Amino acid sequence: MSFPPRYSISKVVGILKAISSKEIREEFPRVKKELWGGEFWEDGYFARTVGDKITAEVIKRYIKYHKNNKVGGEQMDLF
């Protein structure tokens, strides 16, 4: 994804989380009943650019590792 440099990564992530949360809640109203405290997404995020030593493959391995080594509650299934 790309965006103008006047927007910080944290701002863009916040916008993406807000829009996606709203869309999911509208399409799946039962989601609201499952949430603790009403928050859909967790506070953190990971953002990294692809370059010399950080390739798309390295990022895929990072995601796979963290997906397999969860800390905290289980994620709810939507489908």
The structural domains of the chain, with segments of one domain joined by +, span: 9-68
pLDDT of residue 53: 80
Per-residue pLDDT tens over the stretch 56-67: 888 888 888 887
Q: What is the pLDDT of residues 30-48, one digit of tens each?
A: 887 777 667 788 888 878 7
pTM across the whole model: 0.57
13: closest CA among 23, 24, 22, 1?
A: 1
| Per-residue model confidence (pLDDT) at position 60 | 86
Residue type at 79? Answer: F
Q: What is the pLDDT of residue 48?
A: 73
Mean pLDDT of the chain: 80
Give residue 17's pLDDT. Answer: 92
Give the integer Cα–Cα distance in Å for 27 and 60: 29
